[in-house]
Amino acid sequence: MALIVEFICELPNGVHARPASHVETLCNTFSSQIEWHN
């Protein structure tokens, strides 16, 4: 069973580097295919 989760960041300049690196660290803990577009 596939689970697709989509989140759109409404910030006009996107997510800054430091918070983005925290998201990357969290995503790396999952054994999943995660696509991150900034």
**pLDDT tens digit sequence for 12-31:** 888 888 988 998 899 899 88
What does each C-alpha distance from 9 to 2, 13, 22, 28, 30 come to in angstroms? 23, 9, 15, 20, 21
Residue 33 pLDDT > 80: yes
Give, for 26, the enclosing helix (H) or strand (E): helix 17-27
User: Whole-model pTM?
Assistant: 0.59
Query: Is the per-residue pLDDT at 1 higher than 80?
Result: no
- The span from the CA of 13 to the CA of 29, in Å, is 26
User: At CB < 8 A and 24+ separation, what contacts does 27-31 make?
Assistant: none
Q: Has residue 38 got a pLDDT over 80? A: no
